[in-house]
Amino acid sequence: MSVSGLPIFDIAGSALAAQTVRLNTVASNLANADSVSGDPNSVFRPRETVFSTVPDPGNAGLAGVRASGVIESTAPPVKRYEPGNPLADGQGYVYAPDIDPVAQMVNMISSARAYQSDVEVINTAKELALSTLSLGK
């Protein structure tokens, strides 16, 4: 049984926590999009959040969500010829993470809207619970 007695709060709360991890992951990717390194093995690797369902043992058929992990991209870094860059290797190349800022912004907007929807679910469930309690007065 959920802590609140109403599983909707636990389910929506789990979604809020998962979207928070997703937002932080996207923010990290965007913050490192312009970073470069002289070594392709030390360049920042973009990350992606992996979600999984969490069944509610007290309520068959109900499940929450959690961020079960954050995985690093296996895409090779982008090789750019910048001989004037102080981080360039012996051949004049720097390596940048393979991050598409537009795709990351789409991911961030999607996550922010999901977070906003989860907050609305909690607010609506709270209002319904309070209205139900006031019926007995």
Average pLDDT over residues 30-53: 96
pLDDT of residue 6: 77
pLDDT of residue 1: 41
pLDDT of residue 93: 96
Higher pLDDT, 61 or 114: 114
Residue 15 has pLDDT above 50, yes or no: yes
Q: Is residue 82 part of a domain?
A: no
Average pLDDT over residues 93-105: 97
Q: Is residue 21 part of a domain?
A: yes
Residue 117 has pLDDT above 60, yes or no: yes
Q: What is the mean pLDDT of the chain?
A: 92
Q: Is residue 2 part of a domain?
A: no
pLDDT of residue 132: 87
Average pLDDT over residues 96-104: 97
Number of domains in the chain: 1
Domain range for 107: 7-34+47-70+100-134
Q: Is residue 17 part of a domain?
A: yes
18 contact partners, CB below 8 Å, separation of at least 6: 49, 51, 65, 66, 67
**Helix (H/G/I), strand (E/B), else coil: 55:** strand
pLDDT digits (tens, 9 = 90+) for 60-91: 788 999 999 999 999 999 999 999 999 999 99
Average pLDDT over residues 11-40: 96
CA distances from 53 to 21, 65, 93 (A): 15, 4, 43
* DSSP annotation of 116: H
Query: pTM for this one?
Result: 0.85
pLDDT of residue 4: 55
Residue for token digits 């993470």? Answer: 97
Query: Using CA atoms, how far apart are residues 29 and 132, in angstroms rounded to an integer?
Result: 44
Q: Is residue 128 part of a domain?
A: yes
Average pLDDT over residues 124-130: 92
Q: Is residue 20 part of a domain?
A: yes
